[in-house]
Amino acid sequence: MKFPLIAAVSWLTLASVTSAQTAAEPLAAATAQPERIILNLTADPQHEMAITWRQAAGSAPGKVQFAVSEAGPDFVNRTREVDARSENLTLDVQEQTGFQATYNSVVLKGLMPSTRYVYRVGDGTHWSEWFQFSTAGKSGEKFSFIYLGDAQNNVWEHWSRVLREALREDGKAAFMLHAGDLINRHSADKEWGEWFAAGGFIHAQTPSIMTPGNHEYGRPIDDTGARLSPQWRPQYTLPENGPEGRAKLKETAFYVDYQGVRLISVDAPLLHGDEAERAAQVAWLDKILANNPNRWTVISLHFPLYSSEPDRDNPRVRDALKPLIDKYKVDLLLQGHDHGYARGAAPTPKGEARPDADATVYVVSVAGPKMYSVSDLSWADRKASRTQLFQHLTVEGDRLTYKAYTANGVLYDAFALQKDAKGRKTRIEMKPATPELWTPGKKKNTNGDLAQ
């Protein structure tokens, strides 16, 4: 990861956190103790793991100590130490200008597949506790992951329980996938502080991949002046295998091959604007879908191709992506933005359901507390309004199983996809008897910033 000549600010006390920030709110300095520690998957999850964290401005260069995990504490006698890429950066955040912190990033390389590792981060004097992670295994081996829609508002107060319930349901998930709008205001460092505090040690033990939403961009996003959150690249270390030569798409458009699944992050906000960025991303997506050795293909993006909210539509995103999704028979789209829940087979151009069991399945979901109305969608096999959800997906060989749970841990939706020898899918409905939590309506919730 290469840091831009911007960046970072301070760790914030969370005694009175809200998503409505003002420029007058004070910021505390980043601490000497390592903070905001997070794991990210790389393009080679069998042999690598990315680690990023933050310390006080002027801290000594960062280091990572790691070893193969053991049953007891004697692993400390067998640790290796690697230097981080450390940079003291200054960031003009929404709350105040000129705050500084040291950001550190390491990609551990040469790791063994299917292996549990232990690690800690620091500067040689100040160290974190020891954390653990596991590398990916062979293609076709069973694994599960968690998919989360928008967190966005009141993240510390409300999103935290959804994330923790998701880990309670599946504590051995291989990674988490975030479908954009992690926070509400792209440069509000207090909100990023909420996001990291809500996840706590989870971020440091379960790797994440994330695609940006419109709220990770400064407005407007529909022209060449789109401004990605200045914290995005310093605080995450994501794959850099997106469109070549497109700096705006670095660490926002990328893919990861994980045990037989190609997971693709599409930077949907940039499909709205600059035609050069749009064309570059579409050409890149065509290439990586055409040359895909994996059994399964999953695309994550923020703007849904088919909106669940009555007053929204994203024709530029749909026009850019739908031909490729159909051409290459993408299996599943995991989306956010609409603050409701809908799941169904790929609609026809008129928005009607497709009965074809081999059709792409589209999902829209929300994890945070801000809610929009959900239309009476003809294409949706299951929908919900005013409901926070998290999703668990399990993949093993030729079978992908999807389960959606409400914030209080109730199974709400489920289906499976089974592939035959030719790669053709059969969709198996597994919806529980849980009543559908949907009511008609067209008025948007007024919680937070409702701008698209």
The residue from 134, 152, 184 where one domain ends is: 134
pLDDT value of residue 29: 73
What is the end-to-end Cα distance of the chain in Å, rounded? 29
Res 352 pLDDT > 50: yes
Considering the domain architecture, whether residues 97 and 231 belong to the same structural domain is answered as no
Considering the domain architecture, whether residues 64 and 159 belong to the same structural domain is answered as no
The residue from 71, 104, 134 where one domain ends is: 134
Q: What is the mean pLDDT of the chain?
A: 89
3-class DSSP assignment, residue 252: coil
Considering the domain architecture, whether residues 359 and 261 belong to the same structural domain is answered as yes
Q: Which of 4, 52, 58 is nearest to 30 (CA)?
A: 58
Beta-strand pair 208-210/175-178: parallel
How many domains is the chain partitioned into structurally? 2
Q: Which of 285, 222, 297 is nearest to 254 (CA)?
A: 285
Considering the domain architecture, whether residues 113 and 162 belong to the same structural domain is answered as no
User: Alpha carbon of 30 to those of 11, 12, 39, 177: distances in Å?
Assistant: 5, 8, 20, 27
Q: Which of 23, 2, 41 is nearest to 263 (CA)?
A: 41
Rg (CA), the chain: 21
pLDDT band at residue 15 using 50, 70 and 90 as cut-offs: very low
Beta-strand pair 425-429/131-134: unpaired
58 in the Ramachandran plot: left (φ > 0), alpha (ψ -120 to 50) or beta? left
Res 158 pLDDT > 60: yes
pLDDT value of residue 16: 32
pLDDT band at residue 272 using 50, 70 and 90 as cut-offs: confident
Considering the domain architecture, whether residues 129 and 265 belong to the same structural domain is answered as no
pLDDT value of residue 21: 33
Helices 275-290 & 315-327 angle (0-180, nearest 10): 20
pLDDT value of residue 91: 72
pTM: 0.91
Domain that holds residue 93: 35-134
pLDDT band at residue 273 using 50, 70 and 90 as cut-offs: confident
Using the Cα atoms of residue 280, residue 281, residue 286 and residue 288 in order, give the sign of their dihedral: positive
Q: Domain for residue 450, yes or no?
A: no
pLDDT value of residue 96: 63
Considering the domain architecture, whether residues 181 and 47 belong to the same structural domain is answered as no
User: Alpha carbon of 434 to those of 369, 383, 384, 406, 416: distances in Å?
Assistant: 21, 12, 11, 11, 18
Say which residue, 448 or 250, is predicted with more confidence: 250
pLDDT value of residue 140: 95
441 in the Ramachandran plot: left (φ > 0), alpha (ψ -120 to 50) or beta? left
Sheet with strand 296-300: strands edge to edge: 254-258, 261-265, 296-300, 332-335, 361-364, 341-345, 382-384
Res 383 pLDDT > 70: yes
